[in-house]
Structure 1
Amino acid sequence: MKIKTLQKEDDKYIQQAAQLLVEGFKENWPNAWPDLGAALEEVNECLSEDRICRIAVDENDNVLGWIGAISQYDGNVWELHPIVVDINHRRKGIGRLLVKDLEEQVRQRGGITIQAGSDDENNMTSLSNVDLYDNLLDRIRDIKNFKGHPYEFYLKLGFKIIGVMPDANGLGKPDIYLGKRVIDWPNQTSNS
């Protein structure tokens, strides 16, 4: 497997990346990219010059996963958006490799932090279906994963929960914000 930049002329890869979005999000986030047209629009937006768009390709030249990032705060922060791995190739380290590669891409562009939002629209964590304005910090500290929410994937890669947007997707449906610094803090070892 190799990771490389997705290019505007890579029609085959673009189609495969879009299909991964539809398939990868349909179970828990079906409205994210409900069809190939919406997914193709997302992939093409990710190909603009102010973004990062990287794909993992197998030995048969098929896209196994892809990751994108959007520059924010004058390039100091990059929003990881989106990330998806083929459902038949999950839990094999592809997502981890894509995130590590993205960290290096962000560092090369002078970025400091990567942030990601991870919605909880269907009661996957203890942060959903509750009033987060009541004891928010305690609720974040005591978060529980009920149904395989991806926030734990990010935590394993060194991200921290840096906040929550209550009701982002409707009453009791928050967006969980995670972040990770990709450069060393002065006089400390690497966070990556």
Structure 2
Amino acid sequence: MMKIINMSELDEAQLHQAAEILTDTLNIGYPTFKDAMEEVREHLVPDNTLLAVVEGAAVMGWGGILAPEYDGNVFELHPLVVREDRQGEGIGGALVEALEGAAREQGGLTIWLGADDESEAGETSLAGVDLYDDLPAKLAEFDPGTHQSGFYFKLGYKIIGVLPDANGRGRPDIFFGKRL
């Protein structure tokens, strides 16, 4: 039976599982287990809310909302990862729903996230193009392709900004937000 728990309740082996999921699913940002473990430890502090989906002793996925900004009105969703062999089962959606609930309970009005389109080939219609040339038109015709933005659209998130060339020429960071 799966349940969502606070990551502060995880034992060391489960924290290692969480780091492995991060490396396996976001290996551009966290190429080594050491990088992923540092990310877990850095965010596992009282100001942040980190939740994990566990099945027995196994971690299926995890995510967090970072300490609130803008006088407590805005929370950043970071990170959100689900084991590759368990994606498409609703785990990510359940985590996002629980994290949004936690943000609301803390007085949040908005939740946002950044989703890099950083692969060499690009995943969205915003990759490999000059975003300084008529960005509104490019956003109006946005195609998520294989990018996680399709997942966030299904959960009610909207594009609220784009940072061109954030990850190199033609590789933007796309910002999504949702009113809580």
Classify the TM-score, shorter chain: over 0.9
Corresponding residue for 1:108? 105
1:127 alignment counterpart: 126
Query: Which residue of structure 2 lines up, in the alignment, with residue 154 of structure 1?
Result: 152
1:47-95 residue CA offsets vs partner (Å, 9 max, x unmatched): 111111000001x221000001112222211111100000000000000
Amino acid in structure 1 at the alignment position of 2:166:
A
- For residue 75 of structure 1, the aligned residue among 72, 79, 90 is 72
Equivalent residue of 1:114, what SS? strand
Confirm whether residue 145 of structure 1 aligns to residue 141 of structure 2.
Answer: no
Measure, in 2, the Cα distance between the counterparts of 1:8 and 1:75. Answer: 25
Q: 4+ residue runs of structure 1 moved beyond 2 angstroms?
A: none
2:41 counterpart residue number: 44
CA distance in 2, matches of 1:145, 1:9: 34
TM-score by length of 2: 0.94
Give the percent of matched residue pairs that are identical in Structure 1 and Structure 2.
45
Question: Does structure 1 residue 64 correspond to structure 2 residue 71?
Answer: no
Q: Contact (CA 8 Å) 1:66, 1:84: kept in 2 or not?
A: yes
Give the SS at the match of 2:71.
Answer: helix
Q: Could you tell me which amino acid in structure 2 is paired with residue 69 of structure 1?
A: I
**Mapped partners of 1:170, 1:142: distance in 2:** 22
What are the ranges of 5 or more consecutive residues in structure 2 without an aligned counterpart?
A: none
How many residue pairs were aligned? 176
In the other structure, the counterpart of 2:8 is: 7
Distance 1:77 1:157, change over 3 A: same
What's the offset of the Cα at 1:156? 0.2
Kindly state the Cα deviation for residue 24 of structure 1 after the two structures are TM-superposed: 1.0
Residue 9 of structure 1, CA deviation: 6.4
- The 3-state SS of whatever aligns with 1:75 is coil
